[in-house]
Amino acid sequence: MLPLTSSPFPVERIRANLLLANIQETLKDYDAAYSYLFSSLQLVNRITDKELLSNIYTVAIQLHVSAGAYQRAAQFVDNLQRYAVDDRQKCIAQVLNIHVQLKLGNYKDQVLAEQARAVCQKANERLMTASLALYLAESRLLTGESLLLVEMTALLRELEQIGFPPAILQARFFLAQVYIQQNRPLDAEQILLMVQQQAHQLKDLEVGNKALLLLAKIYHDEGKVAQSLMAYQEYSQVQQAYFDDYKARNIAYHQAQINLLESENALALLKNQNDLLRLERDVQTNDKLVMIFAGMALVTLLLLALYVVNGKRRDLHRLATTDYLTHLLNRRHFTELVSSQLQSRRLAEQQSLIMLDIDHFKLLNDQYGHASGDYVLRQVAKLCQSALRKQDVLARMGGEEFAIFLPGCDAEHALKLAENCRCRIAERQFKLKGKAVQVTASFGVATALPGQSFDQLLQQADEALYMAKAAGRNYCQAFEMESGYEI
């Protein structure tokens, strides 16, 4: 890493960083991958080579899409389109733009695909042309549209000739879905077994996970109970590994952002210190009047430096205490806050905790994609927030799980508030990939006893939540000490 940070040649540093970012992302060392990427992005203001700038923004788009940061990826797409000069770069820019817009759910204009296809064919970019077809095929499958068998077979044959394994894997998976649409389960099963094996070789947990789920359903429909159960068990294991990988990638991405802020903060302070030293030397050589004015400038610079530092500190504090997706408190800060309030509040004042979990959220993610899942999480957060009192505290605890702390609220009113939130979610029609989808959530409610710790209260709310799910989901359940649960 030392030669990359100390090299006086920014062009060579960027090229090395981009290469290492791609390698480390393939090896799933996400900390290193995003560190190399953000090191390159720090140097863009020193670069005038449009081809190199295009390479920087291409890698930035791909890694931000992988992290689910689609809005930021869209900003890099704008930069990439600005610096694309030849047909090949324009092809890449237009295809990645459509890919990002599909992830955001904003793709509407079919003309964009026709234009991108024409530019890619002119540039003889067979892989990007095929990638565009894959992105559009995935979108059509997610919205329930049918794909032609001849269309997917031709696309798979083209990709096999090109020889790019990740794209071949996607095309085979889509071909299996076409066979399922055409009620050809045996053909689909054969392709999915091949997909599962190739996904394992490529360490593609997402596609391998989806293939296992489809296999389990095919075996179930064919009455092969044992094989279906084995496929579901393997699916559960791979699903957990996939979510662990997705979480590790997101943590690495946001940690790299924090490191970038700290680096910029240190550079800003160093520059201000150098300016102050230079002013001090100037003051020593001038008369008293100049010293007065220099002193005023010094104070101004100090105030400016403090303003910059405080701004950076606020940014870092926000990143450390809030959930990046919903902008609610994160689990760590919520735990600290509620633990402190439980210790400091009057013994006579009742306090309650609600735990809620979105029902079947993993299946929703599989069917509609992570962009839709992120949209659901944000909307659920807004719906719950709108039902709360001013003093209540809402947090995202991780995944599809949220918590609400209710100071000065007894069990009866806490259960009513949970029911209000549940109804708001269940009555809302969520638009996912052009479809109206109903989303529900289960709620567990617990009320603290005097002297009770946060961990004890959280455990009771979790147990009530478990009972709500066992009762059929889309349900509110209160915890009771004496009998265990109130049914």
**Residue-range domain boundaries for the chain:** 146-223, 254-320, 331-486
Calculate mean pLDDT across residues 85-103: 90
Pick the CATH number of 331-486 from 3.30.70.270, 3.10.20.30, 3.30.70.20, 3.10.105.10: 3.30.70.270
Calculate mean pLDDT across residues 252-274: 67
Calculate mean pLDDT across residues 114-134: 92
The Cα–Cα gap between 131 and 86 comes to 19
The answer to whether residues 234 and 52 touch, using CB atoms and an 8 Å cutoff, is: no
Calculate mean pLDDT across residues 397-406: 94
Calculate mean pLDDT across residues 346-370: 86
The Cα–Cα gap between 191 and 157 comes to 14
The Cα–Cα gap between 46 and 11 comes to 9
pLDDT of residue 292: 55
- DSSP track, 441-472: EEEEEEEPPTT--HHHHHHHHHHHHHHHHHTT
Tens of pLDDT, residue by residue over 320-345, are 678 889 999 999 989 988 988 887 75
Identify which has the larger pLDDT, 161 or 260: 161
How confident is residue 145, by pLDDT bands cut at 50, 70 and 90? confident
Q: Which of 328, 311, 320 is nearest to 251 (CA)?
A: 320
pLDDT of residue 424: 96
How confident is residue 384, by pLDDT bands cut at 50, 70 and 90? very high
The Cα–Cα gap between 392 and 406 comes to 5
What are the structure tokens assigned to 43, written together?
A: 């140097």
Helix then strand then coil, % of the chain, to nearest 5: 70, 10, 20
Decide if pLDDT at 382 tops 80: yes
Decide if pLDDT at 299 tops 50: yes
pLDDT of residue 220: 92
> What are the C-alpha distances in Å from 122 to residues 98, 118, 126, 164, 416?
18, 6, 10, 21, 63
Tens of pLDDT, residue by residue over 230-258, are 888 888 888 888 778 878 888 888 887 77
CA angle 180-370-24, nearest 5°? 105
What letter does residue 487 receive in the DSSP assignment?
Answer: -
pLDDT of residue 127: 94
Q: Which of 160, 169, 110 is nearest to 140 (CA)?
A: 110
pLDDT of residue 239: 80
What are the structure tokens assigned to 141, written together?
A: 């499958």
How confident is residue 486, by pLDDT bands cut at 50, 70 and 90? very low
pLDDT of residue 487: 33
Decide if pLDDT at 280 tops 70: no
Average pLDDT for the chain: 84
> What are the C-alpha distances in Å from 230 to residues 78, 227, 234, 298, 474?
46, 5, 6, 72, 29
pLDDT of residue 1: 43
Residue ranges of alpha helices (H) inside 105-184 are 110-122, 126-142, 149-162, 165-181
How confident is residue 4, by pLDDT bands cut at 50, 70 and 90? low
Least confidently predicted of 228-237, 354-363, 428-437: 228-237
Identify which has the larger pLDDT, 444 or 310: 444
pLDDT of residue 468: 93
How confident is residue 318, by pLDDT bands cut at 50, 70 and 90? low
The answer to whether residues 445 and 477 touch, using CB atoms and an 8 Å cutoff, is: yes
pLDDT of residue 319: 63
Tens of pLDDT, residue by residue over 199-228, are 999 989 889 889 999 999 999 999 988 998
Report the predicted TM-score, pTM, of the whole model to 2 decimal places.
0.55
How confident is residue 50, by pLDDT bands cut at 50, 70 and 90? confident
The Cα–Cα gap between 362 and 360 comes to 6
